[in-house]
């Protein structure tokens, strides 16, 4: 039997939980602010507190792989435990690792994160299409086989992004729009074959971008929106950038994590931000 598709699981989580994504980004400065050492024990304690505060309340958690990898193999082991604990508590996990490579190597990355036998299996993975959209096909295939998702970088939140992502691939079409259109095509094919409402190929579009860059109305997949909070994007920006019918996953890391280390304060902060987002969606 085919596993339940990621899009359906995401919609169910948004109905039942705080409808947003909290990023788990154990910055050195945050570890220090939480009274923890910048070592593997500090990392484990930080991640454990995040799980206790968010995993049974918030729809999506997004560990940032880089902050675990910087502690070496022991840090990656903490990441594995964090993903497993978050999923066991019912949160969906998007691993932010921005993987991408030539097809055969992409297939190995896909096996690491999107095959159910893997220790690092997560609900979705961020991937980079800047070796060509076709190069992310192994991620899409593995995700669709396993009820997981991918989030393809389209227009990122950093100020350097537009130089590449707003360049034209054809008259009137930006690179970012091309990526969104390719994702839309995969979703349409998948949804035509399955009795499902939301595709498993999402895109990443920063909440900080200038309006007018990408048209997402035909995507039929979720939009992961980082840049909310610490990088300056607000609820009003989300309303301005995305049509109401889109499934927008607003993501914030430092803004919420800076409420720690008390578990109750972290949970409360996520709930406060989540209700502002739900209000904007008109729930």
Ligand X SMILES: O=c1ccn([C@@H]2O[C@H](COP(=O)(O)O)[C@@H](O)[C@H]2O)c(=O)[nH]1
157 binds ligand X, rule: CB under 6 A? yes
> CA-based Rg of the chain, rounded to a whole angstrom?
18
For residues 262 and 248, give the distance between their C-alpha atoms in angstroms, rounded to a whole number. Answer: 28
Instruction: Report the residue from 5, 9, 10, 25 that binds ligand X according to the rule CB under 6 A.
Output: 25
Instruction: Report the residue from 7, 138, 199, 206 that binds ligand X according to the rule CB under 6 A.
Output: 206
89 binds ligand X, rule: CB under 6 A? no
Query: Cβ–Cβ contacts within 10 Å for residue 103, how many?
Result: 13
Annotated active-site residue in 28, 62, 98, 244 = 98
149 binds ligand X, rule: CB under 6 A? no
64 binds ligand X, rule: CB under 6 A? yes
- Interface region with ligand X, contact rule CB under 6 A, candidates 13-21, 28-36, 187-195, 222-230: 222-230
Instruction: Report the residue from 156, 165, 177, 196 that binds ligand X according to the rule CB under 6 A.
Output: 156
- Interface region with ligand X, contact rule CB under 6 A, candidates 28-36, 47-55, 68-76, 229-237: 229-237
Binding to ligand X by CB under 6 A, coded x per residue (else -) over 251-270, reads xxxxx---------------
User: Which of 52, 51, 54, 30 minimizes the C-alpha distance to 42?
Assistant: 30
Q: Do residues 83 and 122 make contact, with C-beta atoms less than 8 angstroms apart?
A: yes
Q: Do residues 162 and 139 make contact, with C-beta atoms less than 8 angstroms apart?
A: no
Q: Do residues 228 and 250 make contact, with C-beta atoms less than 8 angstroms apart?
A: yes
Instruction: Report the residue from 124, 142, 152, 204 that binds ligand X according to the rule CB under 6 A.
Output: 204
23 binds ligand X, rule: CB under 6 A? yes
49 binds ligand X, rule: CB under 6 A? no
The length of the chain in residues reads 283
229 binds ligand X, rule: CB under 6 A? yes
Task: Please say which residue, 144 or 252, places its beta carbon nearer to ligand X.
Answer: 252
82 binds ligand X, rule: CB under 6 A? no
Q: Name 211's Cβ contacts closer than 8 Å, sequence gap at least 6.
A: 240, 241
DSSP state of 228: B
Q: Do residues 124 and 45 make contact, with C-beta atoms less than 8 angstroms apart?
A: no
Task: Decide if 269 is catalytic.
Answer: no
Least distance (Å) from ligand X to the CB of residue 57?
Answer: 18
- Interface region with ligand X, contact rule CB under 6 A, candidates 46-54, 113-121, 163-171, 249-257: 249-257
Per DSSP (E only), the strands in the chain are 18-24, 58-63, 92-99, 124-127, 149-155, 168-170, 173-174, 201-205, 223-225, 248-252
For residues 72 and 267, give the distance between their C-alpha atoms in angstroms, rounded to a whole number. Answer: 29
Query: Cβ–Cβ contacts within 10 Å for residue 124, how many?
Result: 29
Task: Please say which residue, 75 or 229, places its beta carbon nearer to ligand X.
Answer: 229
198 binds ligand X, rule: CB under 6 A? no
Chain residues binding ligand X by CB under 6 A are: 23, 25, 64, 96, 156-157, 204, 206, 226-227, 229-231, 251-255
Catalytic residues: 98
């Amino acid at each position: 039997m085919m596993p339940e598709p990621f899009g359906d699981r995401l919609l169910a989580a948004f109905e039942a939980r705080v409808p947003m994504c909290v990023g788990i980004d154990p910055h050195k400065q945050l570890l220090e602010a939480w009274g923890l050492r910048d070592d593997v024990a500090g990392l484990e304690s930080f991640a454990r507190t995040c799980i206790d505060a968010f995993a049974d309340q918030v729809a999506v958690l997004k560990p940032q792989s880089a902050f675990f990898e910087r502690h070496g193999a022991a840090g990656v082991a903490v990441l594995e435990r964090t993903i497993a604990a978050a999923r066991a508590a019912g949160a969906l996990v998007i691993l932010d690792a921005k993987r991408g490579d030539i097809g055969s190597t992409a297939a190995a990355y896909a096996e690491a994160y999107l095959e159910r036998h893997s220790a690092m299996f997560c609900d979705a993975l961020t991937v980079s299409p800047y070796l060509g959209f076709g190069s992310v096909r192994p991620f899409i295939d593995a995700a669709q086989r396993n009820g997981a998702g991918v989030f393809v970088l389209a227009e990122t939140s950093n100020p350097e992004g537009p130089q590449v992502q707003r360049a034209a691939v054809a008259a009137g079409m930006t690179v970012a729009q091309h990526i969104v259109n390719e994702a839309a095509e995969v979703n349409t094919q998948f949804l035509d074959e399955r009795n499902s409402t939301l595709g498993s190929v999402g895109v990443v579009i920063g909440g900080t971008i200038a309006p007018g860059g990408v048209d997402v109305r035909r995507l039929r997949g979720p939009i992961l929106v980082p840049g909310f909070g610490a990088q300056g994007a607000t609820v009003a920006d989300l309303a301005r950038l995305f049509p109401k019918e889109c499934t927008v996953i607003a993501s914030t890391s430092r803004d919420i994590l800076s409420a720690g280390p008390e578990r109750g304060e972290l949970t409360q902060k996520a709930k406060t931000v989540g209700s502002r987002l739900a209000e904007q969606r008109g729930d």
